[in-house]
Amino acid sequence: MPGYAVTVTEKGDEWSKISSNGVEGYIKNEYLVFGEEAKAHYRNMCGITGVVQADSLRVREAASTDSAQVGTLTQNGEVSIFGEEADWYQIQYSGSSAYVHGDYVTLSEELKGAVSMEEYQASQACAASSAAAASTAGSASVISADSNDVAMLAALIECEAGGESYTGMVAVGAVVVNRVNSGSFPNSISGVIYQSGQFTPVATGTFQSVLSRGARSDCYAAAQAALAGESPVGGCLYFNSGYGSGIQIGYQHFY
């Protein structure tokens, strides 16, 4: 996918051998960028994930302590960073650009890499039906869920889309519900969320931290909406932040 990271194992004059997420192959050098240029390109295209270290971090309208506060982020919450201004990081918050102070955010070193043909084909199919998905919002299957399922889904939504709009939060929940119903993933909320290699916040421990303290009320509302069948993204099974194909909601792309 454009903007994604790969490891160049052999650089030739015209082609380079690469590996990424278990995928190996060759890419023409004209489609690659290297070194510091690659780092800048990746940030512009995909953003960088940051983890909040403060108990409560103020989100501001501009990169200044004198700027209006537009919200707060809780400890161990994840944010997508799309720019820097002095000591501040530019993030997406509730569908708008905002800023948090860099002293209270730790950057993740995990990079988005190659996707399998199955994922790529799914993205193309979803991109082709984007308009249809919008018209069928609210028609996804309803699944039975207990309080633990709701709590887990709400926690995942906060981790993956806590800075997005309410629609973006519901969309992340809908992806989990779609997976439960798909037959290609585990058939329970917990099974989907804890499936190995699927959700970064689960692997890093951020998800468990949010689950232990309880997710925000708006994330609970989004989880309940998704479980009740609401889906702004139709039957999409995947999502990522930054650049991508498929249905875009805020800085997330669903496919």
Q: Where are the beta strands (DSSP E) in the chain?
A: 7-11, 15-20, 23-28, 48-52, 56-60, 69-74, 78-85, 88-93, 96-101, 105-107, 239-241, 247-249, 252-254
Q: Which SS3 state, helix, strand or coil, does residue 197 take?
A: coil
Q: If one looks up domain 117-254 in CATH, what number appears?
A: 1.10.10.2520
Residues in the chain with pLDDT values less than 50: 1-3, 130-131, 134-138
Pick the CATH number of 47-107 from 1.10.10.10, 2.30.30.40, 3.40.640.10, 3.90.1010.10: 2.30.30.40
Per-domain boundaries in the chain: 7-45, 47-107, 117-254
Q: Same fold for the domain at 47-107 and the one at 117-254?
A: no
What radius of gyration do the chain's Cα atoms show?
Answer: 18
Instruction: Confirm whether pTM is higher than 0.75.
Output: no
Tell me the β-bridge partners of 92: 97
